[in-house]
Structure formats: C-alpha cells, structure tokens
Amino acid sequence: MALNVECVKSIIMKTDTIKYLLDNEDRIISVSGPWDEFANKNDGVNVHASYVCGRSIWDFIVSDATKMWIRTLFQRARLKTESIERPYRCDSPDLKRFMRMSISSCENGVLEVKHEILHVEECLPPVHFKHISENSVVDLRFRCSFCGRVRQEDAWLEPIATDDTQETEMTVEYTVCEDCQNLMHGV
C-alpha cells in the first residue's frame, strides 16, 4: 500500500499539540491532546495515557545520554521563568517528523512539556530502527535522539536505506550528537 504523504501531512498538521505535566519528581501527572491516537498510529506499546500517568518519565526514555540531556533541560526549565524550546525528530519508518519540544515551569516544580509537529517528509524506502537491547550488536550504529542522524564513520548523516528499493533495518544505540550537545549552550 502506497503512503499518501500529503494526506498524512494534513492530518498531522491539524493534530493538537501533545502535552504532559510532570511533578517535581518527574512523574507524569497527566497527558492531553491526541496522546492515545498518536500511540495507536505508531504501534506504541504500554504508552497509553492510562498506563503512563503516575509513572516516571524516565521509564520511557531510552539511553543514558538522552536521559542526561533531557534531565538538564528539565532542571534549567525549573530554574528559568521562560519556556525552553528544542527541535528534535520523532520518525516512523516511512516518515521524518520534525518536531519542537517546549518546557515551561509551573508552581511547585511542576513542568508542562509540549510536543508540536512542525512538518513531515516521506522516507523512501522506509528505515526501521531497533534499539540495541532488542537485537544483537551486529552492525551497531549510533543514532542521535534529537536530530535523528546516524553516525557513519566520522560524520553524522541522515539515515538512508542501504538498498534504494528495499526497507532497511538498523540496530542503533541512542546518544546525543555533538551538534545537539552544542545546542545546550544556548539554553
């Protein structure tokens, strides 16, 4: 079945912003927007609102490097009075989703975290990512949790299928590339 990217783009752009509130210990208080709809469309397992509320956000974030980066953003947001915004990618195998995360501090250390889709691009042929814990370490690559690029030799590049006509599966370890780490200095 061919993917109608224009149809997907129009649906995504109409979608409300996905938001969640975190208490001062980073437990999810509530979620809003099309949370469950997004989870369903992306084969989200154990990430529906009824499952995540009351749990620590850290139960749902992969890799220590990514956790440290986001933890730093959360700490800074709690110390600042203005919202912190950071771009990132949240891709599916056949779509590149360019997104923005906004973090605002509320009373008593509560954070409001918003995720907004800015635009999407088709990814043909599709690229599937498996986290290292799901597979063996054969042909392991590093993928940035924020820009979505994959480390290939000495450069961070867009992930592309190894064969232009077939889907590709990559085993990755998530990290934060140097370019995204440098964005931290602007916070």
Q: Does the pLDDT value for residue 34 go beyond 50?
A: yes
Residue 25's CB: how many other CB atoms inside 10 A?
8
Q: Are strands 18-22 and 28-32 parallel, antiparallel or unpaired?
A: antiparallel
If phi over 0 gives left and psi between -120 and 50 gives alpha, with beta otherwise, what is residue 43? Answer: left
**48 band by pLDDT with thresholds 50, 70 and 90:** confident
Task: Tell me if 72 sits within 8 A of 184, measured CB to CB.
Answer: yes
Look at the pTM and tell me if it is higher than 0.85: no
**Cα–Cα dist 18/44, whole Å:** 15
Render 115-133 in DSSP notation, one character per residue.
EEEEEEEE-SS-EEEEEGG
Token code pair at residue 33: 């927007």
Q: Model confidence over 83-109: pLDDT tens digits?
A: 899 999 988 888 899 999 999 999 999
pLDDT at 183: 79
- Residue 49 is inside which H or E element, if any? helix 49-52
- The Cβ-side half-sphere exposure at 24, using a 13 Å CA radius, reads 5
The whole-number average pLDDT for the span 41-45 is 74
**Biggest CA-to-CA distance, the chain:** 53
* pLDDT digit string, tens, across residues 104-141: 999 999 999 999 999 999 887 888 877 765 445 667 88
Assess whether pLDDT exceeds 60 at residue 151. Answer: yes
Give, for 66, the enclosing helix (H) or strand (E). helix 64-79
Mean pLDDT lowest among 5-19, 25-39, 75-89:
5-19
Domains and CATH numbers, the chain: 5-186 (3.30.450.20)
Identify the burial level of 108 via C-beta atoms within 10 angstroms of its C-beta, where 0-12 means exposed, 13-18 middle and 19 or more buried.
exposed
Q: Is 7's pLDDT higher than 60?
A: no
